[in-house]
Amino acid sequence: MKWGIIAILVVLLSGACAFGVWFAFFRPVARFTAPRIVTIDRGDSFRTAARKLERAGVVRSSIVLIIWADFSGQARSVKPGDYEFAGGESIGAVLHHLVRGDYLVSIVTIPEGLTVRQIGERLERAGLVCQSDFDFQARQGPLIAALGLEPLGAEGYLFPATYRFSPHADAEAIVAQMLQRFYALLTPTVEQRMFELHVDTRQLVTMASIVEKEARVPGERALVASVFYNRLRLGMPLQSDPTAEYNPEGEDEPAVIAVHRSSQFNTYEFVGLPPGPIANPGESSIMAALYPAHTDYLYFVARGDGTHVFSRTLKEQERAIAALRKHEAQPPAAAALPLETHAK
């Protein structure tokens, strides 16, 4: 009789435990009157993440969540980020969000050819960080020192792309994410090609940044790169207007004035590459700097539509400039295409 009672009690207790598990797992919490945000930090253990969710009232039991995540093999697949929960979801649904990475993000597109200052201004407009904070982290922050990018900073190394940033990301985290995208490009194949060209990473990015600013038409990037490599080989100054116009402080000046301004970046004043990049180039310009076209061009002049006329000699260049000016002087009805003079 005694053993029968014990058996019944064991069954009842087991049933109660099973009901408790069912209640915690299958029955969702009530919906919230306002969404609740839970931040899962990078480096958090799953146990820590589960406790955060329980404290926020998103799940009824962190223990059941941990057991289920271990049982399903998903505990190591949780992605860090800021998660917004409206309530009314089971533990399984909550875990699914964490594994899929349904965190809150601010989507920001960084176009090719922007400077550090311009990127900071864009991020500030997006409500992410102050431009001054970003500028500091990109030029002299701890990460810049660790990567050996001093004294010029990360100009040229901030990879242009569309990013998904956490709304709570600080300037250092954003710089780190952009640098990570850049360094992912430096594959063994790229490093081998740099060795063949006898350039280091900074020289490659500097050349790519000049190509980015000069070549408005993607199909001409390799041709523009060939002109500058040919000039370097012959000991000719690059005479690139964008290098003269570049100002690390972000102050704009008319191109005509900038060309005559003394600057360590102004390639009208010396032979060789400037000390660092003048913008942040995209992958296409980096590839053009790695694989320039095989030409003997030494000059180019821009048309009004962004394409260029390339020349091998100064005489050819002078004829091209004269032809463009003559074309510009024609009445609009007679001109087939608007042109702008931009000689090298």
Write the single-letter amino acid at 224: V
Cα separation, 31 vs 34, in Å, equals 9
Domains of the chain plus CATH, in order, are 26-100 (3.30.1490.480), 106-183 (3.30.1490), 188-297 (no CATH)
* Total residues found in the chain within this entry: 344
The predicted pLDDT at position 29 comes to: 84
Please give the residue that has the higher pLDDT: either 4 or 80: 80
Helices (H), 76-151: 91-100, 116-125, 131-140, 142-146
Mean model confidence pLDDT for the chain: 87
Residue 37, SS3?
strand
- The pLDDT > 90 percentage for the chain reads 65
The predicted structure's pLDDT at residue 23:
59
Work out the angle at residue 229's Cα, subtended by the Cα atoms of residues 223 and 230, and round it to the nearest 5 degrees: 90
Give the E-state strand segments of the chain in sequence order.
31-40, 81-87, 106-109, 162-165, 299-302, 308-311
CA 32 to chain centre: 36
**pLDDT tens for residues 10-41?**
555 555 565 555 555 567 888 999 889 999 98
pLDDT tens digit string along 99-145? 998 888 889 999 999 999 999 999 999 999 999 999 999 999 999 99
Check residue 7 and give its pLDDT: 53
Residue 18 buriedness (CB in 10 A; 0-12 / 13-18 / 19+)? exposed
Question: Of 14-18, 47-51, 90-94, 238-242, where does mean pLDDT reach its minimum?
Answer: 14-18
DSSP secondary structure letter of residue 288: H
How high is the pLDDT of residue 270?
95
Q: How many other C-beta atoms can be found within 10 angstroms of the C-beta atom of residue 84?
A: 12
Evaluate if residue 256 carries a pLDDT over 50: no
Q: Exposed, middle or buried by CB within 10 Å (0-12, 13-18, 19+), for 311?
A: buried
For 168-193, b where at least 16 C-beta lie within 10 A, e where not — what string?
ebebbbbbebbbebbeeeeeeeeeeb
pLDDT category at 304 given cuts 50, 70, 90 is confident
Write the DSSP string, 157-174: TS--SEEEE-TT--HHHH
Asked if 113 contacts 280 with a C-beta cutoff of 8 angstroms, the reply is yes
Query: Residue 272: which of 223, 231, 211, 215 has the closest Cα?
Result: 231
Q: What is the mean pLDDT of residues 170-178?
A: 95
pTM: 0.77
Burial of 124 (0-12, 13-18, 19+ CB in 10 A): middle
User: What is the average per-residue pLDDT within 298-302?
Assistant: 94
